[in-house]
Amino acid sequence: MDLSPPTATQTTALQQIEQLLAVARSGKMELPVLMDRAGALQAAGLGEAAALLYQNWIVATPSPFRHVACFNWGALLGNLKKHEQAEAAYRLALSMAPTFAQAHLNLGHQLEHLGRHEEALAEWQGVIDQELPKLPEHPDSLDLVLHAMNNSARMLETQKRYAEAQALMRRSLELKPTQGDVAQHYVHIRQKQCDWPVYQPVGEVTHNQLLVSTSLLAMLSETDDPALQLMAAQRFVHEKVVKYTEQPFHKRFGAKREGKIKIGYLSGDLCMHAVGLLTAELFELHDKERFEVHAFCWSRDDGTPLRARILGSMDQHTRLHGVDDLTAAKLIAEAGIDVLVDLQGLTSGARPNILAYRGAPIQVSYLGLPATSALPGVDWIIADRFVMPPEYLPYCTERPIYLPHSYQVSDRKREVGAMPTRAANGLPEDAFVFCSFNNNHKYSEEMFSSWMRIVHAVPGSVLWLLADNEWAKANMLRVAAEHGVSAERLIFAPRAQPQDYLARFQLADLFLDSFPYNGGTTASDCLWMGTPILTRSGRSYISRMAGSLLSAVGLPDLITFSLPEYEQRAIQIGSNPARAASYKRYLREQGHQSHLFDMPATVRSMEDEFERLALEHRQRR
């Protein structure tokens, strides 16, 4: 704590604030003057003083506009993250003006921050009920209704109340079709529910408008067309990413780069997450004689051994939670990072603006987004020649750093649970078990229909699936019935702890990969546990991931390149269980010794490329 006496400037500022408070307490300050002075204080970074000014004015001034002052007071308190006090301010405003819709909306946000979700939803529903009947005669009500609907839909989606969320999104788009963000969520929530066809027009919103509004993550599940994927990435960058054209931060703030090469990993997923599960051994295997390894992360502290293991393998860890993007980029530059590896891309929780400021001279995309990000701060992407063939390169803004066998690292120390039984998992003992444990949003209508034809063609076979939610399960069962596949032939697995999830792969005979969004971590887990995967490879990085893994593990004959070939191969293997057993025997006896799981060699190859790029840059300076 700084106990030094205030400077003359600080003393003058304190005196001015006290004078303002005295006028506010007198009851003689006009509301416009109050708002002007409070705004000036807030602009000067004195939010606490601005809130105190409102508080004193409200107590002392019997104005008919006190509810407006209370609203502004609540907004200030909310910005200061004083959510309980903000709630009280909004409730005071509403005690004076019960139909003050904006106060109900903001009160809902404070209740959300306080974890009182049902109360927040009730506030927003009240606004909908109050303002919707006023349309179209009162067009100002439209923004209030849309605000309430869209935030309710967002909250319901996070609670996995997908049907309610989707209904609100549809109503919102019917009222105002030109809401790109709402259309984006509408597409993805249909994917999560396997609500096919995903591009279901609503109101005046056409198929093409939904396509253009599709997020990159959702686009990866919809098509292997690299041009459409690039379009989705570029749209996000255009709308959301800062346009920084000044001197890169690594030049403005960077320390002199000498000695060991410094590698920084940028991520919000260095915890119990697919990225964390894949990368733990990568960090441990870095050659600390040649490299200094830093983590720059805003990952949740989930208390897991995995999180502790990841951070324990770092030379330095800089926590970026609560640190703004500009400051984060400056910290990276000041640390003298040579190579910054972004493990997030444009996935959930990403902070692409950190990369836009270019805190490191070499910035590389890896794992989190197996596609082009179109981010102006990212020049390289780690790949192999299978996932990024020459014909794919024109659709990527990054240049490839090719690893010799497969792009993917994994963890050979992953914990495996006890061997389960088929009976305990609801599987028939003598059936051929196809499985697919990818997330439901990766299931396309085309591929699921293909799986139904495969199951129908292999007598007695079953398909073992994850069901992320009740709507996805219901929609899958509906499509199964349309293909003449009875409900008992689809067996739905619940979520499980990582070690138990790994163990149950051993019960399946053949994993059916999704397309165009292949399995990544899931495919690695499956092969590590000795279960073969049948994949279909397409035109994009993400649609060729499992093919890369199968090539490196020594099973290229399980890679197909068209839907008819995929179906034919699956039916052949399902009709000949001995063939599946031979694949399992090969993986059990030789899989762990293959190139795919030779992590020391993979890490050395990656390090050699990082060192080459870093030294080239150092020599140019």
Per residue in 195-236, pLDDT tens? 999 999 999 999 999 999 999 999 999 999 999 999 999 999
Q: Is the pLDDT of residue 431 over 60?
A: yes
Q: How far apart are CA 572 and CA 75, in angstroms?
A: 64
Whether 519 contacts 513, CB under 8 Å: yes
CB atoms within 10 A of CB 540: 29
Superfamily for domain range 14-196? Tetratricopeptide repeat domain (1.25.40.10)
Same topology, domains 255-402 and 423-597? Answer is yes
Alpha-carbon distance values, 545 to 350, 367, 551 (Å): 22, 10, 10
- pLDDT tens digits along 98-111: 999 999 999 999 99
Whether 53 contacts 23, CB under 8 Å: no
φ, ψ dihedrals at 608, nearest 5°: -60, -40
Determine the pLDDT at residue 423. Answer: 96
Determine the pLDDT at residue 2. Answer: 46
Q: Is the pLDDT of residue 412 over 50?
A: yes
Mean pLDDT of the chain: 95
pTM, full prediction: 0.92
Q: How far apart are CA 394 and CA 309, in angstroms?
A: 39
Q: Is the pLDDT of residue 389 over 90?
A: yes
Whether 432 contacts 574, CB under 8 Å: yes
Q: Is the pLDDT of residue 14 over 90?
A: no
Q: Is the pLDDT of residue 415 over 80?
A: yes
Residue whose C-alpha is closest to residue 610's, from 266, 122, 123, 264: 264
Q: Is the pLDDT of residue 13 over 70?
A: no
Residue whose C-alpha is closest to residue 248's, from 358, 355, 341: 358
The two counts, helices (H) then strands (E), for the chain are 26, 13
Whether 194 contacts 448, CB under 8 Å: yes
**E strands, 438-561, where?**
462-466, 490-493, 510-512, 533-536, 559-560
Using pLDDT thresholds of 50, 70 and 90, give the confidence band for residue 409: very high
* 350 SS3 class: coil
Of the CATH numbers 3.40.50.2000, 3.40.1190.20, 3.30.56.10, 3.40.50.720, which one belongs to the domain with range 423-597?
3.40.50.2000
CB atoms within 10 A of CB 185: 21
* 436 SS3 class: strand
Q: How far apart are CA 41 and CA 160, in angstroms?
A: 41
| Paired tokens of 502 | 């790994």
Using pLDDT thresholds of 50, 70 and 90, give the confidence band for residue 186: very high
Residues 243-263, mean pLDDT to the nearest whole number: 90
Determine the pLDDT at residue 11. Answer: 57
- pLDDT tens digits along 514-554: 999 999 999 999 999 999 999 999 999 999 999 999 999 99
Determine the pLDDT at residue 229. Answer: 98
| Paired tokens of 310 | 């990841």
Q: Is the pLDDT of residue 376 over 80?
A: yes
Q: Where are the domains of the chain?
A: 14-196, 255-402, 423-597
- pLDDT tens digits along 141-181: 999 999 999 999 999 999 999 999 999 999 999 999 999 99
- pLDDT tens digits along 468-493: 899 999 999 999 999 999 999 999 99
Q: How far apart are CA 256 and CA 175, in angstroms?
A: 56
- pLDDT tens digits along 282-329: 999 999 999 999 999 999 999 999 999 999 999 999 999 999 999 999
| Paired tokens of 17 | 């604030």
Q: Is the pLDDT of residue 456 over 50?
A: yes
Backbone φ/ψ region at 582: left (φ over 0), alpha (ψ -120 to 50), beta: alpha
CATH of domain 255-402: 3.40.50.11380
Determine the pLDDT at residue 9. Answer: 52
Using pLDDT thresholds of 50, 70 and 90, give the confidence band for residue 7: low
- Give the whole-number percent of the chain exceeding pLDDT 90: 88
Using pLDDT thresholds of 50, 70 and 90, give the confidence band for residue 18: confident
CB atoms within 10 A of CB 587: 22
Q: What is the DSSP string of 117-157?
A: HHHHHHHHHHHHHHHGGGTTT-THHHHHHHHHHHHHHHHHH
Q: How far apart are CA 348 and CA 213, in angstroms?
A: 17
Q: Is the pLDDT of residue 8 over 70?
A: no
φ, ψ dihedrals at 307, nearest 5°: -60, -45
Q: Is the pLDDT of residue 5 over 60?
A: no
